[in-house]
Amino acid sequence: MEERYKMYLEKARNVIRALDPKLNPATAEIQALRNQLADRDKQMVTLERQCEQARLKEYEEKLIVTAWYNKSLNFQKLAIESRLGGRSSSALSPGQSFLSQQRQVSNAPRRALSISVPPTTSK
């Protein structure tokens, strides 16, 4: 009976050794690797978030530059039109370019010239 008790006791010790992570060094290594893997996953998520923020910032900067360019182009166009506005006649609209104004002047209908000839007096 004592031998059977010793055998059961040895089996119980083996089960305890197998299940206890402190006594089983392989399980501790596995846990350490799992912790490293979790840390790397957190790092990847952080880096992906930073990459997305950098991409959004770059897109925002491009939009700002485009808006600035369009705004300055409009101001330059207005300045040129105001300078050309003094040269054009009042019949022409100020929103037209110089060439279109010249085309309108040259394509304007010609007024018929009326020449009045004094009557000849015959004596």
Domain boundaries defined on the chain: 2-81
Q: Which of 101, 79, 78, 75 is nearest to 88 (CA)?
A: 101
Calpha distance 15→4 (Å, rounded): 17
Are 21 and 27 in contact by the 8 Å Cβ rule? The answer is yes
Q: Where are the alpha helices (DSSP H) in the chain?
A: 2-19, 25-85, 98-107
Where is pLDDT greater, at 76 or 16?
76
Q: Which two tokens stand for residue 86?
A: 């003094």
Give the mean model confidence (pLDDT) for residues 5-11. Answer: 90
Q: Which two tokens stand for residue 95?
A: 């929103």
Q: Which of 85, 83, 106 is nearest to 95 (CA)?
A: 85
Tell me if the pTM is above 0.85.
no
| Residue 63 pLDDT > 70 | yes
Are 101 and 92 in contact by the 8 Å Cβ rule? The answer is yes
